[in-house]
Amino acid sequence: MSAVRRVDLQLLAVVLLLSAIGALAIYSCTRNAGNPTARLTMQLAYIIVGLAIMVGTMSVDSGKIRGLAWPIYIGVMVLLAVVLLMGSIRETHRWIPIGPVNIQPSELAKIAVIIMLGAVVSRLEHEDHDFIFLVKTLAYVGAPALLILLQPDLGTPIVIFFIWLVMMFALGASPVHLGAFVLAGLMLFVGAWGFGLVKPHQKARLIAFMHPDDPSESASYHLRQSLIAVGSGHLWGQGLFRGDQSQADFIPDQETDFIFTVIAEELGFVGAASIIVLYGLLLYRGLCISAAAPTTFDRVVAAGIVGMLLIEIYVNIGMTIGLAPVKGMALPFLSYGGSSLMTNMIAVGVLQSIHMRREQIVF
């Protein structure tokens, strides 16, 4: 009972509620397929396994997690190398098929980088957090980011870079120095665009984001259909299992990348706003855990997890309403898929471990 009392029940409740809503939304938009419960059954299995992994992670002291940083990091790096040798799926090398499921190492790379950076900065915490220090820490981000770029995947390296920014800011790095790295990143992207290193489909998505009303841009089809679905939800929605866009399968990948449109169309502004409130509470609890963390490792790791969740939430919801380019990125705990859900469950387990350790120290 003492261990249960140390658990952050608000954080746990939000995760359970989001997972349940996600399963319901997945069933709603896939029930007209050949096997109406296939995706729902798989997602429920992912949730059960994910919760077990989260509980297992919670039971590991955050100090021991720090000690596992190198094995976790190297293990994920090996998976990122292996995936490049696998056959392509959708013209990319992102998944390792294992029986009926596909493992996506780039998702696991996010939490691996967070734990590795936490271990590195806690070991170097007495050094000045100057420009050279930031370069040292950025090296641990660059290696997995390069392997992910080769898949090819441009979005995930940007997510990992954003996580690095948040963790370094939480550590106390100068905003001026961090801004210089952001500027350098933008210049590298412009150079990659000019030299043709950015893939055609990636360019198309960015052009469609800047010109969403251009009918000649086929990549803007996703956004147009998404805006129709979100707008047709009005205040209360069209009703569960009654969305015109979701039930007619007008939106590609709606159970994964565009799950928010299903909720917005069928449950309306009220349902969509409720999801955003739940995410706000999730991020708030993460920030509270980071602020009260007893060690540097705990503080920056918790901040990194909040940064990871924040950018995933913003990009996924933002792309459905035209505030971000279309990117194949799962909405935490809502989208269908095992790799993203497992990663986020592990992340919440780490947050809980940090919170429980703090409670142990206090009491």
Q: Tokens 């909720």 belong to which residue?
A: 263
Average pLDDT over residues 217-223: 69
pLDDT of 111 > 50? The answer is yes
Whether the upstream peptide bond of residue 152 has omega within 30° of 0, thus cis, is yes
pLDDT of 333 > 60? The answer is yes
Average pLDDT over residues 47-73: 95
Chain mean pLDDT for the chain: 88
d(CA 90, CA 252): 14
Q: Please give the pLDDT value at position 22.
A: 96
Q: Please give the pLDDT value at position 54.
A: 97
Q: Hey, how many other C-beta atoms are within 10 angstroms of the C-beta on 210?
A: 10
pLDDT per position as a tens digit, 140-184: 999 999 999 988 888 899 999 999 999 999 999 999 999 999 999
pLDDT of 57 > 80? The answer is yes
Q: pLDDT tier at 362 (50, 70, 90 boundaries)?
A: very low
- CB neighbour list of residue 238: distance below 8 Å, 6 or more residues apart: 232, 244, 265, 266, 268
Token pair of 266 as six digits? 């069928």
Give SS3 for 101.
Answer: strand
Q: What is the four-CA torsion angle of 143, 145, 151, 153, rounded to 10 degrees?
A: -170
Give SS3 for 103.
Answer: strand
d(CA 76, CA 158): 18
pLDDT of 361 > 50? The answer is no
Q: Please give the pLDDT value at position 97.
A: 81
Decide which of 345 and 198 is more confident.
345
d(CA 346, CA 113): 13
Q: Could you tell me the CA-to-CA distances from 148 to 167, 246, 314 in Å, in that order?
A: 20, 31, 21
Burial category of 277 from C-beta neighbours within 10 Å (exposed 0-12, middle 13-18, buried 19 and up): exposed
Q: pLDDT tier at 87 (50, 70, 90 boundaries)?
A: low
Amino acid at 10: Q
Decide which of 244 and 343 is more confident.
343
d(CA 287, CA 264): 27
Contact between 168 and 137 (Cβ < 8 Å) = yes
Lowest mean pLDDT among 108-112, 250-254, 299-303: 250-254
Token pair of 353 as six digits? 């471990």
